[in-house]
Amino acid sequence: MKLHIQNVKKTYDDKVVLKGGSAVFEQGKIYGLLGRNGSGKRTLFNCISHEIPCEGDVLIEEHGELRKVEDRDIGYAYSSPILPEFMTGFEYIRFYMDIHAKEIDSAKTIDSYFDLMRIVAEDRHRLIKGYSHGMKNKLQMLGFLISRPKIILLDEPLTSFDVVVANEMKHLLLEMKEEHILIFSTHILQLARDLCDEIVLLHNGVLEQLGHDLLQQNDFEDRIVSLLQEEVKHAE
């Protein structure tokens, strides 16, 4: 399974954010989308997930055949999760399982899903509005374990978690990657190096796939910074 982004363009008024980005993402890999603040990382995610209209094509390849990406193919983990805070975590997941009944593993119970995320029984029955940021993100990720979208987009994950939750989420992403296409945006180079199989740079409005070898090089961070500094020079 592959995700094909072909000549994606997006303009806001007179500002061109994406100038025709193209890239291919494969199942079984974690991709780090790196770019400076304002480079268009979130705009690209919004284009992939149909949150905003754009020019170009976003296609999924399965068994050698291409089709347009549909909403059901996408799981979008927002940096600030959007959840119904008037519900308990248990009520929300029960509701989520009901609306995704055709896609889920019927052998699993609600509690077994909570166990996977190490959410203890007491927290399951608390209102979501009382959850910490890390707990809300866990609940958001739990939804993806249930609905199993083909493509998972993560907007700045792990940046505001405590050490324990961040470590748990890292292991979860590594476990999930075999069945999904995982792309996360970040500006933290060490996080990208720890988790990613490949790096995709978004600079000057275009995508550049850098591959796995760069991650193994001692000057990885210096080379990324150098490439991003070129964007500043082009803008001046």
Q: Which CATH number characterizes residue 40's domain?
A: 3.40.50.300
**Total structural domains within the chain:** 1
Model-wide pTM > 0.85:
yes
**Whose structure tokens read 């994406």?**
18
- Name the 3-class secondary structure at 227: helix
114 within domain boundaries = no
Average pLDDT across the chain, whole number? 88
pLDDT at 205 over 70: yes
221 within domain boundaries = yes
223 within domain boundaries = yes
Q: Please state, in angstroms and rounded to a whole number, the distance separating the CA atoms of residues 37 and 209.
A: 19
Which are the contacts of 121, defined by CB distance < 8 A and separation ≥ 6? 111, 114
122 within domain boundaries = no
163 within domain boundaries = yes
pLDDT attached to residue 75: 93
pLDDT at 106 over 90: no
**pLDDT average, residue stretch 159-169:** 76
225 within domain boundaries = yes
CA–CA–CA angle 151, 156, 159 (5° rounding): 135
pLDDT attached to residue 107: 66
